[in-house]
Amino acid sequence: MRRSIIFFVISLLLGSLINASIVQADTQDPYKEFWEILWREAKLIEEAESGNITAINELIENSKAGAENAIIISTQTWQTLQELESAGVKLYYTEDELKEMIEEIKAKGLPQETVQALKNEGWSD
């Protein structure tokens, strides 16, 4: 009984953390935030090593922000994978399927829309 209650409370806490992360992810770019956190971390480590007590406290808070940011990115990745799978997009291919695709590309070439998209990205023939 006690384990069930503990499990329930932990589940609620994790659920609220993930839901809060999803809401936060909708309001800012987590990938941009990732690089900002890393930049702050490097700066704060340098300051903390010189004995700056304030920097040490900020470093702890920045590390917590990094953990929350990792949850946001992981959640978004998982949601995207789920959406792709539910839309019928195949995410994994066997070796034989990949070989078959290569042979088809060799025989027919890439689809014109793919060629155009690659050219738009700067690729050339």
pLDDT digits (tens, 9 = 90+) for 21-54: 555 545 689 999 999 999 999 999 999 999 899 9
- Helix runs in 28-125, H state only: 30-49, 53-86, 95-108, 112-120
Claim: this prediction has a pTM higher than 0.75: no
**What are the residue ranges in the chain where pLDDT is below 70?**
1-27
Cβ distance 17 to 69 under 8 Å? no
Residues 6+ apart with CB under 8 A from 8: none
Q: Using CA atoms, how far apart are residues 43 and 36, in angstroms rounded to an integer?
A: 11
Collapsing DSSP states into helix, strand and coil, what is residue 121? coil
**C-alpha atoms less than 13 angstroms from C-alpha of 117 in its C-beta half-sphere:** 5
